[in-house]
Structure 1
Amino acid sequence: MRHHPRAADPRTPRIRQHGRRLRGDPAPRRGPHQGDGGRQPRRPGRLGPGVRAAVRHHLQRPAHRPRPAPRGTRGIGRSGSVQCGITFPLPATRDGFVRLAAACGQNLGTRARAYTSAETADDFDAVRQKLGIDRLDLLGQSYGTYLMTVYAQRHPAHVRSVVLSSAYPLAFDMWARPNARAARRTVHLMCERAKSCNGDKVLTDISHLSTRLRTHPIPYDGRKLDDTALASIIYNTASQAPTAVGDIPAMVRTALKGDTTLLVKAARDQSPMSGSSALAQRDEPFNPGQAVSVMCNDYPTLWNRQAPVNTRLRQFAAKRAALKDRTFWPFGKTAWTSAMNDRGNACIRWPDRTGPKQPSTGFPDVPVLVVSGELDTNTPTEEGRQAARQFPHSTVIEVPNTGHVAEDHDPTGCTSGIETAFIRTRQAPATTCLTKLPAPPVHLATRPSGGDSRYADKE
């Protein structure tokens, strides 16, 4: 299928998008993801699990109607995979990642404008038109919430309802201040419910370890674990609640006592850069070039995009210098604002100084459900509420004791059931089943097994 001719930007080159048509019974049910629909990718560059189409039309489909099953959004897999020089493993430092993103933009040239959320949304609408469907029920997770919001803004007349799981707004905070607040809240809630740790003490331990790693980073596997890498590890680990967040107290405390085994293991599992949270390996089909293109085309900037790079660097440095460190406690402002590969200065060297034109209309006045994991530091409830306020009528549900994409961490199936019920009825369903979700277990520190004395607590 070729890209919809009514492109987001008339200067954008056309690309070929691969898809297939299936006949027969609907796809097997996966929670709310039934019929003509599917999940949206969790971040740019990723083909989310269970993706069958960009959109869904109610929950039932006539048996004779073909079910669309694109193999991926543009720029991923057989839909014109983006090749711009980014390969794994990614650079070990933040500066290396920023420069690699810039090189990707240089290699793509004007082709980079083909990989935006608006272009992908128009691809989806081309599928809708081809199938003759009038109005759609949209469902997105993580980056898919951004993408579905763009679709709803560009094609409001063709939206019947929207479900956004782990949502963030179009104009989100590139300094990641809501995420810092969420990290502190997650630690407090975890300890409060487990009754086996003290949130203030854990956060103070993190602060002490962050300060230590800033001047004495831990070398491992040709990389280094500094305060930025620690911020990335805490950020990612907390978002995995309830499965991994309970490891934080022991990991931090044993490192302060001189045993860095747990901390280095977490670093090896996540492969954070000393300055970025980009991962070295992926458990799903992922195209880093497509991800970088979307980030650098679509996301807000902390500098004047039209300015030369040297001017942008000065603008960014001045703005960061004006930030207060306590906003990002238990981390420093430099560490926290460098810990995520889609925030801070990731795109500061992106070569396209004008960017694609992405006109849009207003948001549709349709029922919208936003679902946020209570312990999520990636897309916290604060950002979910901001995303909800973009629409005239929305409901926000916070799922207790879960992290990023709550339905993936809900063993009871309650969250998926709530989403399914909303899509069926377009009304906020009962949420009493959420009270049954268990609190995450906390793993207490064990006696250090030895380690580098440089990292031992001197108290």
Structure 2
Amino acid sequence: MRTPTRLATAALCLAAASPATPAHPAPAPTPDHRPPPSAAAALPPGTVAEEVGAAVVARRAAAAAEAPGGGLRFGECPLDEGLPAAARCAALRVPLDYARPDGPQITLAVSRIPASGRGGAARQGALVFNPGGPGASGLYFPLVADLPEWQGLAAAYDLVGWSPRGVGRSAPLSCEDPAAAAAAGPTQDPADPSDPSPADKRARIAAARAYARGCAQRAGAALPHYTTLDNVRDLDVLRAALGERRLTFMGASYGTYLGAVYATLHPGRVRRMVLDSAVDPDPRRIWYLDNLDQAAGFERRWYDFRAWAARHHAVYRLGATPQAVQASYERVRAAVARTPAGGTVGTGELRSAFLQAAYYDEVWPDRAAALAAFLAGDPGPLVRQARPDPESAAARENARAVYTAVLCNDAPWPADWAVWDRDNSARARRAPFETWANAFLNLPCAYWPVRERQQPVAVGARPPAAGEEPADLPPTLVLAAERDGATPYRGALELQRRLGPQASLVTEAGAGAHGVFGGRNACVDRHVERYLLTGAVPGWRVTCAPHPEPAPVSLDDRAASAPGKAPRAVLPPAV
């Protein structure tokens, strides 16, 4: 399990990291396995179905706000969630299909640690957090209350997390048997990441079709109702159930898109909103083009890691240039292609482990040391960092299922393999590290068994929804790292433009770690804390210097400083 020491550590956008939340897979609540009688809830805003959904949300929110105690009954958290005694948990009931409010209901898991009032701070309400994915649970968010960089906010706010629909205990979604997937053993990527063979492509197409069929078979009629729009509706009901007239929200990665859609549909219900590591919300880019944009972004960050390792050649002996470090990586890749390391790490697991280096520079010392140890004849560190954890297999499968369902339901995707082949082949020639792996991850969307997909919401100012008074969005805060690979910087510029002149953008220049707030950069943290505590934004666009790069530390140094302790566990593999 990875404790969320920073907002971005719980999940990643698009090529999402699996959350550490224990999943409890069970069939989604479906009355039968026939196709749903209507795809109404998946239609775009402005349709009759959207008006019905908005009306249902309004009724649910009003009822939740009027219920005794704010509509949620908090008590002890389930022991297997591993939350501290100070955390309290509750269940929120919402319709599976907001166009059928009297149909099946689902329960969303919610967690909270009340404001500490430390230093005499006045309580400002609830701060609700979504870590992204989609497919990640925010249930662990209240754990940050004990971290030094969070204590000012934890003094003034109840810290509230929840598992969105489909995730963990919240109507868990599943597309395949996690035990069967784990039993398949190590995975091997195409021999040439820049140009998979025709046989490789045929095999991945067949796997994508089978995965999409599995989602339909296991979810049944519930499948169309795992969407961003439904997550927004759930979030508004949660806001009211917490007794909050207006929402104070922080979203990371995919959570920025969730927050931006909420702000578009309900600007008058927003109090303060921090959007960290922004998805490009242009509806023309949701989600196919946004995923294609990651190819160049991940390649830049892969270069950043190799350049760092080269600067520390004296420690790691991987090569004195980025090209030489690449050659060292290729030697390891060729070795695990022949014989999986420890019987568990093939080229797929190796790539997933090193993809984390494109997200978080904190893992650079571990990854470089693992490569160095492997080349010196010790595969142990690499195996410990890259092998899949059998205990988290169900959580990984659950995360991938929700990720796939939300992205596939949210928008139309190309159904012609020739389009995917053309677009990804062009990018992989320049950015081979992750292009095809990302494409194959998303390929089930080409064969998705939901008849009608949503049209993405046009984030930004729009006429008020049915029954809503016209309202302006209050000042919001967007955060971005200039070299972020998962959510390239252009997305932050587009989000700020769409949110309007009240949106402020804080940029960490020259840095690329995914997730900017939360102890990595003191300049960014000061702007966020001031905004959430006072409502003051720092200006239209503000730049912070990059946080320091990690210091090189060899595995021998780690062992000497912490006798008997293995190197820090790797983030869960990317789904």
TM-score, normalization by structure 1: 0.69
1:173 aligns with 2:293: no
**Equivalent-residue separation in structure 1 for 2:450 and 2:505 (angstroms):** 38
Pair 1:239–1:114, CA change in 2 (3 A): same
Partner of 1:350: 448
**Equivalent-residue separation in structure 2 for 1:260 and 1:85 (angstroms):** 31
- On the 8 A contact 1:4/1:126 being kept in 2, the answer is no
1:246 aligns with 2:365: yes
Partner of 1:450: none
Amino acid at match of 2:528: E
SS of corresponding position for 1:17: strand
Partner of 2:164: 73
**Equivalent-residue separation in structure 1 for 2:422 and 2:453 (angstroms):** 24
Question: Displacement, 1:220?
Answer: 3.6
Amino acid at match of 1:185: D
- Aligned to 1:210, which of 297, 321, 330? 330
**Equivalent-residue separation in structure 1 for 2:264 and 2:245 (angstroms):** 16
1:152 aligns with 2:263: yes
Pair 1:80–1:260, CA change in 2 (3 A): closer
Pair 1:441–1:97, CA change in 2 (3 A): farther
SS of corresponding position for 2:508: strand
**Equivalent-residue separation in structure 1 for 2:125 and 2:240 (angstroms):** 18
Pair 1:402–1:257, CA change in 2 (3 A): same
Question: Displacement, 1:430?
Answer: 13
**Equivalent-residue separation in structure 2 for 1:21 and 1:61 (angstroms):** 17
- 1:48-447 to structure 2, matched below 5 A, reads 48-51=138-141, 71-88=162-179, 90=182, 92-93=186-187, 95=204, 98=208, 99-129=210-240, 133-170=244-281, 171=285, 173-175=290-292, 176-177=294-295, 178-188=297-307, 201-207=321-327, 209-210=329-330, 213=333, 216-220=337-341, 222-223=343-344, 225-226=346-347, 228-242=348-362, 244-253=363-372, 255=374, 260-268=379-387, 280=393, 287-298=399-410, 301=413, 303-304=414-415, 312-323=416-427, 325=429, 327-328=430-431, 332=432, 336-340=434-438, 344-356=442-454, 362-363=460-461, 365-373=473-481, 376-392=484-500, 393-398=503-508, 403-410=513-520, 415-423=524-532, 424-428=534-538, 437-443=547-553
Partner of 2:192: none
**Equivalent-residue separation in structure 1 for 2:507 and 2:523 (angstroms):** 12
**Equivalent-residue separation in structure 1 for 2:442 and 2:156 (angstroms):** 47
- For residues 171-191 of structure 1, the C-alpha deviation after alignment (integer angstroms, 9 at most, x for no partner) is 353232222223323544676
TM-score, normalization by structure 2: 0.57
Question: Displacement, 1:112?
Answer: 1.1
Q: Which runs of 5+ in 1 are unaligned?
A: 53-58, 272-278, 305-311, 447-459
Pair 1:204–1:337, CA change in 2 (3 A): same
Pair 1:444–1:384, CA change in 2 (3 A): farther
**Equivalent-residue separation in structure 1 for 2:168 and 2:308 (angstroms):** 40
SS of corresponding position for 2:386: helix
How many residues align? The count is 408
* Structure with greater helix percent: 2
**Equivalent-residue separation in structure 2 for 1:299 and 1:204 (angstroms):** 41
SS of corresponding position for 1:26: coil
- On the 8 A contact 1:217/1:224 being kept in 2, the answer is no
Partner of 2:127: 37
- On the 8 A contact 1:249/1:445 being kept in 2, the answer is no
Partner of 1:26: 115
Pair 1:48–1:83, CA change in 2 (3 A): same
SS of corresponding position for 1:231: helix
Question: Displacement, 1:40?
Answer: 0.9
- For residues 353-386 of structure 1, the C-alpha deviation after alignment (integer angstroms, 9 at most, x for no partner) is 4224665663465433222356754345454444
Between the two proteins, what is the percent identity of the paired residues?
23
- For residues 41-62 of structure 1, the C-alpha deviation after alignment (integer angstroms, 9 at most, x for no partner) is 332222125457xxxxxx8999
- On the 8 A contact 1:47/1:76 being kept in 2, the answer is yes
**Equivalent-residue separation in structure 2 for 1:190 and 1:417 (angstroms):** 31
SS of corresponding position for 2:128: coil
Question: Displacement, 1:141?
Answer: 1.6
Question: Displacement, 1:113?
Answer: 1.4
Of 315-324 and 202-211, more deviation after overlay is shown by 202-211
- On the 8 A contact 2:482/2:489 being kept in 1, the answer is yes
**Equivalent-residue separation in structure 2 for 1:182 and 1:13 (angstroms):** 47
SS of corresponding position for 1:164: strand
Q: Which runs of 5+ in 2 are unaligned?
A: 1-91, 143-152, 190-203, 462-471, 557-575
- For residues 318-373 of structure 1, the C-alpha deviation after alignment (integer angstroms, 9 at most, x for no partner) is 33333351x21xxx3xx522434895525333222422466566346543322235
SS of corresponding position for 1:369: strand
1:46 aligns with 2:154: no
- On the 8 A contact 2:359/2:514 being kept in 1, the answer is yes
**Equivalent-residue separation in structure 1 for 2:233 and 2:524 (angstroms):** 29
Amino acid at match of 2:480: S
- On the 8 A contact 2:508/2:524 being kept in 1, the answer is no
Amino acid at match of 2:403: A
Amino acid at match of 1:351: P
SS of corresponding position for 2:443: coil
Pair 1:372–1:282, CA change in 2 (3 A): farther
**Equivalent-residue separation in structure 2 for 1:358 and 1:433 (angstroms):** 31
